[in-house]
Amino acid sequence: MPEAPLAVVLLSGGLDSTTVAAIARADGFRLLALTIDYNQRHRVELDHAAKVAAYFGVERHVVLPLDLRGFGGSALTADIDVPKGGVEPGIPVTYVPARNTIFLSVALGWAEAAGARDIFIGVNALDYSGYPDCRPAFIRSFEAMANTATKAGVEGGQFRVHTPLAEMTKADIVRAAAEFGAPLELTWSCYDPTPEGRVCGVCDSCRLRAKGFAEAGVLDPAL
């Protein structure tokens, strides 16, 4: 039997990327887990990413330091308050300029070096209401670019960016996590943990997560 193909999974340690990793594994891939340490305000998610990677027995987990704070421009990386008043329409201040472009580019570099042609990322419908780099048009555009950018692409290999959550609500994601065996008890979503290291419960990410579990009729095992 030929060895299963490798895929690079962008793993933040949150609900979405952990569910994506479970789906990639169910699709028959061996996993390379890539976590970006961009000095995010919610650094605790890095520990959760390591636990999730260990749970899945990935071939390799790379935590790549990539400090985007020097550029500013986002509440997740600069001294701008994380909003707590509820999810607003439009592009939120937690948008990090070109974040998914940067993350996918790094994933592409690792994929090419490792001989993988598949990249998984947990962008979804709720996100792309606000973040331009979560929209399907962006993902298709990135794939086209990747196939002109790389030795593997030029030589005929096709890179694919998989976004299995693209059309899902948070409730759908919670249900998919159960279906594919994602260890949600190990995940972290909060953008702005308390000094005691607990979830704040009121940032956009906490609100979306709570709503997803409520609508799926599932208790959040991480609480």
Residues that bind a copy of itself (CB under 8 A): 62, 64-68, 70-74, 91, 95-102, 104-106, 108-110, 112-114, 132-133, 135, 137-138, 141-142, 144-146, 148-151, 153-154
Pick 137 or 219: Cβ nearer a copy of itself: 137
Q: Pick between residue 131 and residue 191 the one whose CB is nearest to a copy of itself.
A: 131
- Could you give the 3-state DSSP secondary structure of residue 73? coil
CB 146 to a copy of itself: min, Å: 7
Q: Which CB sits closer to a copy of itself, 102 or 178? A: 102
In terms of CB distance, is 97 or 221 closer to a copy of itself?
97
Question: Minimum CB separation from a copy of itself for residue 10, in Å?
Answer: 14
Helix, strand, or coil (residue 188): coil
Name the minimum Å distance from CB 124 to a copy of itself: 17
153 and 146 in contact (C-beta within 8 Å)?
Answer: yes
Is the Cα dihedral 104, 106, 109, 113 positive or negative?
negative
Of 202, 219, 162, 143, which is closest to residue 22 (Cα–Cα)? 162
Backbone angles phi, psi at 160, to 5 degrees: -120, 135
**Min. distance of Cβ 131 from a copy of itself in angstroms?**
8
Q: Which is nearer to a copy of itself, 153 or 193 (CB)?
A: 153
Q: Residue 36's beta-bridge partner residues?
A: 64
Residue keyed to tokens 């555009």: 141
Tokens, residue 133: 């780099």
Closest CB to a copy of itself among 152 and 184?
A: 152
Name the residue among 56, 77, 142 with its Cα closest to residue 107.
Answer: 142
Q: How many residues does the chain have?
A: 223
CB 210 to a copy of itself: min, Å: 26
